[in-house]
Amino acid sequence: MPSPTFAYSSLVHVWYAKEGGLPKNTVMLGNWLIEKYLCRDDEKFRDCKACILDLRKRQLLDAQGDGLTMDLLITSEFAWIDNYFTILEAATVAA
């Protein structure tokens, strides 16, 4: 298999699992988080595009998501997690 070529600077995250794959939403979210928190905060990586290299399938996963959509998705996920632990704590105190 030929080596992947890049038309831009890339920050590649390597991923491997014996079974299963990464859903497109997970790839988009992972790439968005890498770009938001690793690429943009460092002068050296500011122009990089994030991608995930699936070693098992030998695929470069570079799906990109809309920034606003990804912000909303992250916010809703953290709100759900916060609510879960608030309810768990209240149930533990009540018991």
DSSP-derived letter for residue 11 is: E
Q: What pLDDT, on the 0 to 100 scale, is given for residue 7? A: 52
Q: What pLDDT, on the 0 to 100 scale, is given for residue 6? A: 55
Q: Flag whether the pTM goes above 0.75.
A: no
pLDDT tens digit at each of 95 positions of the chain? 556 555 567 777 788 888 888 888 888 888 888 887 777 766 777 778 888 888 888 888 887 777 788 788 888 888 888 899 999 889 888 87
Q: Give the amino acid at 60.
A: L
Residue 31 and residue 59 in contact, taking contact as beta carbons nearer than 8 Å? no
Mind spelling out the 3-state secondary structure of 35-61? HHHHHCCCHHHCCCEEEEEECCCCEEE
